[in-house]
């Protein structure tokens, strides 16, 4: 059986899925047709239910929950891993008209920005990798950066305004849920369980053989130094990627409860978890 699988070309995702898609583990009769896209494009594909299995932002999951259910394996949650609001020159943060570059309307990053700075209305959605350049060019006043840009923004002369991951942790004492792996609810339950089991095995294989995926990771992160790639992986791939567990699920439930309360997302009646 062949299933379509969407994930980003970022090191954390290529690290997680390398063993699965390259049959370094027994895939129990399943094959995967891979679609690489940035997370906001994957969010949009999820809204249209285009893929059988996909990575998406937890914020976006609220809008795709009718068609997809969250797997316990493959998620990105953690402490000290949240998006960062940065600037080129100091800004008056009380100004609602500041131009803020965001990595997509439905990203968890934008959700956190809405919690911390609800008065920011002039948001400009763009591919996450373009935000730093547009900030340096003066096209935006503030930039909301994610992924490897957390490690490079200072080298480009940019300054931290707010670590929104720290903001979330202070507010909730929970890990920040960034992205998860969902599968179509319409697929048979045994297939859903099998995919979850295989992704878990793929993550475990990656942890046991951290250099096995190096060529694959490098091929999708060509401009990134190896040390930065593994720094990125260390931040975003952890015990929650193997299994959400009680604490991971609690963090997700709090995220959704806060979002519903503030009317950032619609009310949800479906079960969130597989």
pLDDT of residue 231: 86
Given a cut of 80, whether residue 91 has pLDDT beyond it is: yes
| Bind-site residues | 55-57, 108-109
pLDDT band (50, 70, 90) for residue 259? confident
Q: Which residues are catalytic?
A: 147
CA dihedral 250, 254, 256, 261 (to 10 degrees): 160
Domain that holds residue 230: 2-77+177-261
Which strands form 84-87's sheet, in the order they lie side by side? 123-125, 100-102, 142-145, 84-87, 159-163
Kindly state whether residues 164 and 185 are assigned to the same domain.
no
Could you tell me which residues are annotated as the binding site for substrate?
Answer: 55-57, 108-109
Is pLDDT above 80 for 236? yes
Evaluate whether residue 197 is within a structural domain: yes
Tokens at residue 208, please? 């046991």
> Which of 143, 172, 201 corresponds to the end of one domain?
172
Pair type for strands 142-145 and 84-87:
antiparallel
How high is the mean pLDDT of the chain?
Answer: 93
Per-residue pLDDT tens digits for 120-155: 999 999 988 899 999 999 999 999 998 778 778 888
C-beta neighbour count of 209 within 10 angstroms: 13
> Last residue of some domain: 141, 172, 203?
172
Tally of domains in the chain: 2
């Amino acid at each position: 059986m062949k299933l379509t699988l969407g994930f980003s070309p970022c090191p954390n995702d290529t690290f997680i899925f390398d063993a699965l898609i390259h049959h370094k583990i027994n895939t129990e009769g399943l094959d995967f047709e891979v679609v690489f896209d940035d997370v906001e494009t994957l969010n949009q594909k999820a809204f249209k239910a285009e893929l059988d299995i996909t990575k998406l932002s937890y914020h976006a999951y609220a809008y795709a929950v009718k068609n997809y259910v969250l797997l316990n394996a493959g998620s990105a949650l953690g402490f000290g891993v949240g998006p960062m609001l940065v600037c080129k020159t100091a800004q008056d943060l009380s100004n609602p008209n500041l131009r803020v570059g965001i990595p997509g309307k439905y990203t968890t990053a934008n959700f956190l920005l809405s919690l911390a700075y609800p008065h920011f209305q002039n948001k400009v959605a763009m591919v996450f990798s373009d935000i730093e350049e547009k900030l340096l060019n003066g096209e935006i006043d503030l930039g909301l950066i994610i992924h490897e840009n957390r490690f490079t923004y200072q080298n480009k002369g940019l300054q931290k305004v707010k670590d929104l991951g720290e903001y979330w942790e202070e507010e909730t004492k929970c890990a920040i849920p960034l992205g998860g792996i969902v599968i179509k609810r319409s697929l048979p339950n045994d297939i859903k369980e099998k995919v979850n089991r295989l992704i878990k095995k793929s993550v475990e294989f990656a942890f046991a053989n951290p250099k096995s995926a190096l060529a694959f990771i490098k091929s999708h992160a060509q401009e990134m130094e190896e040390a930065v790639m593994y720094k990125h992986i260390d931040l975003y791939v952890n015990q929650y990627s193997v299994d959400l567990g009680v604490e991971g699920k609690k963090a997700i439930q709090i995220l959704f409860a806060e979002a519903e309360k503030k009317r950032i997302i619609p009310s949800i009646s479906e079960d969130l978890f597989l």
